[in-house]
Amino acid sequence: MLGLMQHRPLALPHVFHRAEQYFGHKTIVSVEAAGETSMTVAEWAERVRRLATVLDTLDVGADSRVGTFCWNTRRHLELYLAAPCTGRVLHTLNIRLFPEQLVYIVNHAEDEVVFVDRSLLPVLWPLVDKLETVRHFVVIDDGSDAEVPEDPRVHDYEALLAAATPFAGTFVIEDESSAAAMCYTSGTTGNPKGVVYSHRSAVLHSLISLMADGVGLVERDVVLPVVPMFHANAWGLPYGCLLAGSNVVLPGPNMTPQAIAALLEKHRVSVTGGVPTIWMGMLPLLPDHDLSALRAILCGGSAVPKALSEGYREAIGVPLLHAWGMTETSPIATVAVTRSQHDGLSEAERADVRARQGPAVPLVDLRLVDPSTGETQPWDDTATGEIQAAGPWIASEYYRGEGEGVQFTEDGWLRTGDVATIDRYGYVRLVDRTKDLIKSGGEWIGSVELENEIMSHPKVAEAAVIAIPHPKWVERPMACVVVKPGETLTAEEVIAHLEPRVAKWWIPDAVEFIDEVPKTSVGKFSKKTLREKFGGYQTGVPSSAGPA
């Protein structure tokens, strides 16, 4: 027996038309090289309708990929809606990719058109002859003085919009399973792989960002996504804002902590989101800014150092709100909210809870699986296992079937590659990446946990822990530590800091000081690079500590 409810697809046209109809008076602020502009949602929506026509004029195929090579700007947001609402697939290109990766991705996705900020032309244009499927480059003039090539493939965004007739009707996507957007993951091994979001997944994920027990976007919010719009759709914040009716502030190319702090103050931003690096940089600036409107500072991309979050709580009363996920999870899978069971805890214990990844949001299912045995692990906060994820906005496969059998289980769950414990209330605590786990004398050592403890030292800026070979224990941990500018630190001090904090046999056999932790193109620690660098490392003194 079937339910007798309307067959209304969960699709992005609803998000667009709702924003246009209910929130036309709200504002979108955009900072570009030429300065700051402010526009109402109604004005913005009219431009989306023009852009829809432009895509037809450029003869972009019915479900072709529309590449964007842009900063976080209002015009990027126009593309966020115009492409999927007309059935095309928004393909956000990571502007920080290595050239060969970028070429690979554009060709693999078969982008027909790429919209590019003028300030980013010098990065993209040298590759133009290698981009096999791109027929049009539409330059968004952001006030940069980068040279615009004289080439028949090159168009001016504003000229196209000015010449276009706004699409007059209601956008319709009949099949909610159809592709809305795609984003490539740049894993540390192999070629980048394409994650293809559906209209259904985009809408459901947007709804989740409106949940009170989470990010809880509301109409009164002013939202500034620092996280780039080419990273898993800026964590879904742009679509979430349009659905909730929040004002939006898009910071453009100047992502320095100084610039972001100034925007947060000026526009009385209430919700922002970005990776820990930006919040680290902004921490010393807090006393100079009135950030009293801020109610949520979303932090993701990597684990949140507890000391950093506490720094924010002490300075402005708002700790960081950690969310966990990845491109393959749209990306929000968990949000580290505190709940009533934490009410009796001390402030320090609550800080520990906030430093976890938190419980799964509604509609997401998680399970812990032992990477060696394949057995499901209990949620007792002790047993570790790889987190596997299922849900309507979790990838089922990569574009063109890549990664099958490796990244996805036989019963269709995503292998996240993150190793964690989960407590009885469902709170995830990451301990490592499956590929970064250190197995010493038959026991696992969590490199991420060790890093977090080292980074809680007040003189440490960053730390990465890797495995080094050991004749007796097979592997032993080694800490690569970045000292804060102007500070000095010895290996002995690092060890002394760790001793009361971790099991004796977790204490690294070696501590090396480095200038910075190498990063991947999306800003994550590249332990692969460190392992290459220290591959032949031998500790001077054989460790006396082994698994108990």
The residue ranges that bind a copy of itself (CB under 8 A) are: 1-8, 10, 14, 17-18, 21-22, 24-25, 63, 89, 175, 177-180, 195-201, 203, 207-208, 210-213, 216-220, 243-245, 330, 339-341, 359-360, 362-363, 365, 379, 390-399, 412, 414, 424-426
Q: How far is the CB of 379 from a copy of itself (least distance, A)?
A: 8
SS3 (DSSP) at 310: helix
Please, which residues bridge with residue 366 across strands?
A: 389
Q: How far is the CB of 47 from a copy of itself (least distance, A)?
A: 20
Which residue, 328, 238, 313, 227, is CA-closest to 276?
227
Q: How far is the CB of 299 from a copy of itself (least distance, A)?
A: 19
Which residue, 334, 283, 330, is CA-closest to 305?
283
For the beta carbon of residue 496, count every other beta carbon within 10 angstroms: 11
Residue with Cβ nearer a copy of itself (200 or 231): 200
Residue with Cβ nearer a copy of itself (207 or 387): 207
Residue with Cβ nearer a copy of itself (66 or 278): 66
Cβ atoms of 293 and 222 within 8 Å: the answer is: yes
Cβ atoms of 491 and 463 within 8 Å: the answer is: no
Q: How far is the CB of 51 from a copy of itself (least distance, A)?
A: 20
Residue 483, H or E segment: strand 474-483
Residue in 130, 435, 439, 524 annotated catalytic: 439
Residue in 328, 386, 449, 453 annotated catalytic: 328
According to DSSP, the β-strands at 35-40 and 65-69 are unpaired
Residue with Cβ nearer a copy of itself (203 or 498): 203
Q: How far is the CB of 41 from a copy of itself (least distance, A)?
A: 12
Residue with Cβ nearer a copy of itself (425 or 444): 425
Residue in 37, 110, 444, 539 annotated catalytic: 444
The first and second tokens of residue 504, run together, are 């004796």
**CA 134 – CA 112 distance, rounded (Å):** 4
The first and second tokens of residue 23, run together, are 């929130």
Residue with Cβ nearer a copy of itself (175 or 487): 175
Q: Is 83 left (phi over 0), alpha (psi -120 to 50) or beta?
A: alpha
Which residue, 419, 545, 384, is CA-closest to 470?
545
SS3 (DSSP) at 203: helix
The first and second tokens of residue 209, run together, are 């960002």
- Cα-Cα-Cα-Cα dihedral sign, residues 297, 303, 306, 311: negative
Residue with Cβ nearer a copy of itself (367 or 533): 367
Question: For the purposes of burial, counting CB atoms within 10 Å of the CB of 358, is it exposed (0-12), middle (13-18) or buried (19 or more)?
Answer: buried
Which residue type, as a one-letter code, is found at position 142? D
Residue in 185, 272, 327, 329 annotated catalytic: 185
Known active-site residue 397: no
Known active-site residue 393: no
Residue with Cβ nearer a copy of itself (110 or 475): 110
**CA 206 – CA 12 distance, rounded (Å):** 10
Q: How far is the CB of 108 from a copy of itself (least distance, A)?
A: 14
Q: How far is the CB of 167 from a copy of itself (least distance, A)?
A: 18
Length of the chain: 548
Residue with Cβ nearer a copy of itself (402 or 443): 402
Q: Is 144 left (phi over 0), alpha (psi -120 to 50) or beta?
A: beta
Q: How far is the CB of 378 from a copy of itself (least distance, A)?
A: 12
Which residue, 79, 24, 430, is CA-closest to 219?
24
Map tokens 């080292």 to a residue. 454
Which residue type, as a one-letter code, is found at position 488? T
Residue with Cβ nearer a copy of itself (155 or 354): 354
**CA 496 – CA 30 distance, rounded (Å):** 48
Helix axes 41-57, 12-22, angle to 10 degrees: 140
Q: How far is the CB of 204 from a copy of itself (least distance, A)?
A: 8
**CA 202 – CA 393 distance, rounded (Å):** 7
Known active-site residue 451: no
Which residue, 371, 341, 370, 338, is CA-closest to 356?
338
Q: How far is the CB of 411 from a copy of itself (least distance, A)?
A: 11
For the beta carbon of residue 262, count every other beta carbon within 10 angstroms: 17
Annotated catalytic residues are 185, 328, 439, 444
